[in-house]
Structure formats: C-alpha cells, structure tokens
Amino acid sequence: MSRSTLPLLDSSLYPQLWQQQILLSPQALLLSMLMLSTDITADANAFAKQIVTNEVYQEWINTTVFGRYLHRNFIAFYQQTEDSFNTDMPALFRQELVRHAQYLPLNQVLFFAGDMPESVRQTKILTTTVNPATAIINAQIMSQKLTVNNSKLIVNQIAITGKQVLGFAIRHNKRTSERLRNEVLILDFQDLRLVNEQAIEDIKKSNIENSILLRSYEIR
C-alpha cells in the first residue's frame, strides 16, 4: 500500500515570536517556556490557537477521520490483558488505524511528558504533542502526583529521523480543554533511542520547586 508523507509542520511554525523573543526551533520554544513562562496554560492556549489556523496543521488533521474518542478506545483495548473475548481486538484495531496512517515528515519535533513507558518499544505506540506547553502541563500533572515538593518535571522531545515513522494527528473538540492537546499518535517505527539528557537548574514557580529533566530522542 502506497503512503504519502505529511508536510513538515515545523517549517511553517518557526521562527516563532514568543514573549518578544524570536525562537528558531521548537526546542528553543520549549526551553523558553520552561524557564520564563509564568502561565503555561495561557501559553498552551495561545499556541493551540495559532496551530489550528495553520494550513499545514489543517492538512494534518484533515487527512484522518480519527478523533480523541477513537484514540481513547484504541489505547484502552491495548491496555486490557484479561478480557479473552477481545484478545484479537487490539491487533485488528491497530491494523485499521495503520491502514489510514501516513509517514511523519523528517525533522519534525514532537513532545511528550514523563518517563518513557516500558511498553513503547514493544507496541511501537506513543502519544505525543506538537504543543510544547501541553507537554509541560502534562509533566507538571505527573510530578504533582508523585510528590508535592522538589518534584521533577520530565519533558521529552522526539525528532523524526526516519522516513517510515507512521502516525497521524488526532482531531480534537475545539470547544473543550482537548483543544490544547494538539496530539500526534505514533503507530509504528523501527527504532527509538535516547540521544541526550539535560538537567536544567531548579526554578521556582507558584511556590513549588521544580527540577527539570529534558530528554531528547530520535525515532526512525
């Protein structure tokens, strides 16, 4: 089956003007948001509004009919282990999703929060976002669940380095909080490897000490 490759979204989003700074890459925007922003939710909302009007992103989400509801059910099927009646459903569900997926563009950067799930390299399924502020918000939620003080924010960025990484953007309801997600579901890849891990000096926001760990991955 022949597949097309999605156009590179980052080339239409950057350079990015943010808080009177000109930022040349998504990595630079992520770092600026981590170090300087006082309201990450506002940043996520502003960036989401910008993305949804972007012609390339519109092409991304208009190439698929899959929305957040289908995504939730797909992940639920994949996580179930004891329902013998549905043992074949994850594979069938995935096969159908892969049939409609496209190749993600080379050099596109995606983000996700927290530790890499142990199952990712086996299932080759990973939920990411093109909105760096959304990744930071998710990292904050995860860290607060672990401990209140001296929590560690783990934010990850993935660069697409292979031509056969399959996935698609998830369409969201613009009238709900889902509009901030800007998610991209990766459905298949050959290899995922950690290439850099950077500890950023502790910063204090909202009276909470946050130790930030920034991890960089390449996927092909």
Amino acid letter, residue 13? L
pTM of the model: 0.85
| 60 compared with 207, residue with greater pLDDT | 60
CB contact at 8 A, 98 and 203: no
Question: 97-127 pLDDT, tens per residue?
Answer: 777 789 999 999 999 999 998 889 988 989 9
Strand runs labelled E in the chain: 16-18, 21-23, 102-103, 109-113, 126-129, 151-160, 166-169, 183-188, 192-205, 208-219
pLDDT at 207: 40
- Residue 208 has a pLDDT of 46
Between 40-52 and 55-62, two packed helices, what is the crossing angle to 10 degrees?
80
Phi, psi of 117 (to 5 degrees): -60, 140
Phi-psi region of 20 (alpha: psi -120 to 50; beta: other; left: phi over 0): left
Fold category of 10-63+101-219 in CATH? Toxin ADP-ribosyltransferase; Chain A, domain 1 (3.90.176)
pLDDT per residue as tens digits for the range 117-154: 888 998 898 999 999 999 999 998 888 776 555 568 89
Q: How far is CA 20 from the centre of its chain?
A: 25
